[in-house]
Structure 1
Amino acid sequence: MISQPALSVIRETLPAVGASIGEITPIFYERMFAARPDLESDLFNRGNQAQGEQQKALAGAIAAYASLLVSEDAPNIDAMMSRISNKHASLGITEDQYAIVYEHLFAAIAEVLGEAATPEVVDAWTAVYWDMADGLIAAEKNLYARFDVAPGDVWNELVVTSRNQESPTTVSLELAREDCAALPAAQPGQYLSVQVTLPDGAQQIRQYSLTRASNRTSWAVTVKAEPGCADSGVPAGEVSNFIHDNIFEGDTVRCSLPCGDLVVEESDEPLLLVSAGIGCTPIIGALNHLVQTESTRPVMVLHADESMASHAHRREMGQLVNQLPGAQMHHWYEQLGARTVTDTVHEGFIDLGEVPIAANAQVYLCGPPPFMNAVRRGLAVLDIPADNVHFEVFGPDTWSAAAEPVSA
């Protein structure tokens, strides 16, 4: 518990710290990686570091958590904490690593705030940090306990049993144990962390949604190649491109236990599954689960993509929907080419007004943040309760962007 005097200090200093957090977080990472270069090469996503996305995510999380402590109007951050703890568990984060972060984060705070970082201020913000850290540590221990493993012991060596080209830029990998033993139970919508050793020796890790995991004998993931864009400063995808070029049938891949909180709950309520681009992967995981459990609940599947050619798993999505008696599917393509518009194939950007959506639908949403925010605004116009909308963020959870207000 944080004392009332400390909360008063946090309330008074939150504007100043909040205004400086964007300056604090880059210095923090620079300090930490100088002291522990192994963390940069073998744990943190170097691409996100280069773009500043990880810094934004950390800044947003700290600001949101501090705001919650001192403001009655602060947004609920349970979803943020759940996403962070699941991501940490998929990386094998352990309790002792929070002390490393604390050391370098508070050195950065002292450097940026200077004389304003009085002992009273440092003590109050230390209490904020450890209150948040203790919540995450407890949640991560619970996630490890679900699999009956020691904290951090999440890694398995799996064999690629098949590789298929799903679109010009995406491949799917089927993974299984070499001894054919049963895999841990996974829930529809969860993901794996995959670690590869790059040519420079770095052991980089990325997360990939499970498109199939119900039978316990194999898992399937889909990996999209990312060429990058020099003009916009977006680096090429180190891990995804390495997998595309180097991982084939018979190769061994280091994978984590399944994690993630975009889990389709059992219910009779209508289900709305909305995706764009490679965001279709957790949706396919959900559809595979619904087919296996012979679900009869009403399901509406909406997918947006650049073109039919770029739509990964296009055929599989259609086949899965056709196996569900209560399911319908609509596509939107920015470039339809010579194809003609039909009742279920649309040209342009996704338009929720073109399809019937149940007022009590449970919505699962995945795609680029601008797409998700646009869909969430459309759902708000339709009076779909915000609590009914569940979404997955690929990459760092830049909370301020992902939680953009969705009022009409």
Structure 2
Amino acid sequence: MLTETQLQLIKATVPVLKEHGATITAHFYKRMFARHPELQNVFNLTHQKTGAQSRSLAASVLAYAEYLDQPGFLSGMVGRIAHKHASLEVLPEHYPIVGENLLAAIQEVLGEAATPEIIDAWGAAYGILADIMIGAEKSLYQAAPWEGFKAFTVVKKVQESAQIASLHLKPADGAPLAPFKPGQYVSIRIKTDSMPYTQIRQYSLSDAPGGDTLRISVKRELAPETDPTLEAGVLSNILHDHIQEGDTLDVHAPMGEFVLQERGRPVVLLAGGVGITPLLSMAKAAKESEVHLLQFVMKREDHAFREELQNLQQQNQKVKVTTFYTHLGANDVLGVDCQEMGLITTEKLLRYVPLDADFYYCGPVGFMQAIEGILDDLQVPANRRFFEAFGPTQDFKVGPERELHP
């Protein structure tokens, strides 16, 4: 339990966290990995190189500090992190290691400004948060259909577009598939001789529940042209180039809170690029709702699941699919290959979807920001917005004006 003095000390550090948070968290990871290199088997090392994980941790710490005395506003953030932790098999014994190194990083970066009273206050606050996370993750582990990582066989591999390939997975032991919720993801764990550490990545399940396989659809992550120091996605390229039908993969039980909720309203699904994967699962699983799926891709060769979506629309009159291309190829026909050209705007969105809907959106950062801005302009309430960010969340939007849960 925090004392009132400790609470006020933590609140008083919010401006400092805004200024130095990313520096503190970057130092934290460097410090922790130096003392516990085995934890590099759990963390995404690419996100460490780009700084994305440090920024995400800084954002979550800042949100926690701002709303420590109003925990109801933190429920969405806690739930999202708990599912991600559970997909990585984060365990209770990891929390003391994290706490020790985080407090030390605060002290080492801030120096004399981090008084013993401030460190004690943050130690108490971290203890409360650790207990909350451990409890939430325990519930997820107990409800999971299998423990840890389980061997699955790749029974089918399909090239969906120039950069996206689907892997259809069955339990290697022949056990029946456990159910999952449309929109959830699984973790894939891979270790090769060329990699110093085991690496884990999350991939959305791209088909509806109830089939005889789990399907993941993986985008090949190329090295960014803007930064030659960054490498191509390690696991995505292994899955594209080296994993074939008949191979086995270590697969974690499905996790994730970004799931379809049919609540008596129309459902709008906004998919940018590979963000189509969880939304396709939702579109195929919807039983009662009118579904409006808008798919945004660069060009024809990037148009994944084209025939599958056309068939879905023909088979289910409640599903309407609209495709946007950024670039129209020489042989592409507007109105046939795609219905719209260019980027999403408020006017284009209103042309195809009802405003009294629940909105689900997933895609690259720029796309997500554009959708957020449009929904703000249209005054769509936060409790009708659901989103999934691929990669570490850079801005945990919490508080009374951004609470995601109704």
Residue 361 in structure 1 maps to residue 360 in structure 2: no
Q: SS in structure 2 opposite 1:261?
A: coil
CA distance in structure 2 between the aligned counterparts of 1:2 and 1:44, rounded to whole angstroms: 30
1:84 aligns to 2:81 (yes or no): yes
Q: Secondary structure of 1:38's partner? A: helix
Aligned to 1:65: 64
Deviations 1:64-122 (A, max 9, x none): 1100126x7x9933222111100001111111101111111111111112122222111
* Superposed displacement of residue 211, structure 1: 0.9
Correspondence for 1:325 among 308, 313, 317: 317
Instruction: Give the whole-Å Cα distance in 2 for the aligned partners of 1:169 and 1:148.
Output: 31
Superposition deviation, residue 158 in structure 1? 0.4
Aligned to 2:328: 336
- Measured in 1, the distance between the counterparts of 2:267 and 2:355 equals 11
Counterparts of 1:179 and 1:33 in 2: how far apart (Å)?
35
Give the superposition deviation at 1:281: 0.2
Q: Name the amino acid aligned to 2:156.
A: S
Matched residue SS, 1:87: helix
Conserved? CA contact 1:184–1:216, under 8 Å:
no
Aligned partner of 1:167 in structure 2 is 161
Deviation at 1:402, TM superposition (A): 11
Q: What do residues 133-153 of structure 1 show as CA deviations (whole Å, max 9, x unaligned)? A: 22211111111121266xxx3
Q: Tell me the amino acid that sits aligned with residue 219 of structure 1.
A: L
Q: Which residue of 2 aligns with 1:386?
A: 382
**In the aligned structure 1, how far is the partner of 2:355 from the partner of 2:397?**
26
Displacement of 1:341 in angstroms is 2.5
Shift of 1:55: 0.2
Deviation at 1:342, TM superposition (A): 2.3
Give matches, 1:218-367, under 5 Å.
218-232=213-227, 233-290=229-286, 295-338=287-330, 339-342=332-335, 345-354=339-348, 355-367=351-363
How far residue 11 of structure 1 moved from its aligned partner, in angstroms, is 2.0
- Aligned match for 1:138, one of 125, 135, 141: 135
Q: Answer whether contact 2:63 2:398 (CA < 8 A) is retained.
A: no
More displaced stretch, 52-61 vs 27-36: 27-36
Q: CA deviation at 1:242?
A: 1.1
Call closer, same or farther: CA 1:82–1:299 in 2, change over 3 Å.
same
Q: 2:206 aligns with which of 190, 207, 211?
A: 211
Q: Does 1:191 align with 2:185?
A: yes
Aligned counterparts of 1:165 and 1:312: Cα–Cα separation in 2:
9
Q: Which moved more, 1:115-124 or 1:269-278?
A: 115-124
Q: Deviations over 1:10-31 (max 9, x none)?
A: 1223222432212111111111
How far is the alpha carbon of 1:207 from its aligned partner?
0.4
Structure-1 separation of matches of 2:354 and 2:152: 41
Report the Cα distance in structure 1 between the residues aligned to 2:145 and 2:187, rounded to whole angstroms: 18
Give TM-score scaled by structure 2 length: 0.92
Q: Do the aligned partners of 1:274 and 1:364 also contact (CA within 8 Å) in 2?
A: yes
Task: Describe the SS at the equivalent of 2:353.
Answer: coil
- Report the residue type matching 2:93 in the other structure: D
**Which amino acid is the alignment partner of residue 3 of structure 1?**
T
In 2: Cα distance, 1:100 partner to 1:193 partner: 23
Cα distance in 2 between the residues matched to 1:87 and 1:367: 18
Q: Which letter maps to 2:241?
A: D
Kept in 2: contact 1:393–1:402 (CA 8 A): no
Tell me which residue corresponds to 1:56: 55
**How many angstroms apart in 1 are the aligned matches of 2:54 and 2:326?**
32
More off after superposition, 382-391 vs 57-66: 382-391
Q: Distance between the aligned counterparts of 1:400 and 1:234, measured in 2?
A: 26
* Percent of aligned pairs sharing the same letter: 36
Per the normalisation by structure 1, the TM-score is 0.91
Matches for 1:26-41 after TM superposition, within 5 Å: 26-40=26-40
Secondary structure of the residue aligned to 2:215 is: strand
CA distance in 2, matches of 1:345, 1:213: 25
The count of residues paired between Structure 1 and Structure 2 equals: 395
Alignment gaps of 5+ in structure 2: none
| Partner AA of 1:301 in structure 2 | L
- SS of structure 2 residue aligned to 1:364: strand
Aligned-partner residue type, residue 260 of structure 1: G
**Alpha-carbon offset, residue 386 of structure 1:** 1.6
Which deviates more from structure 2 when the two are superposed, residues 273-282 or residues 323-332?
Answer: 323-332
> RMSD of aligned C-alpha atoms?
2.2
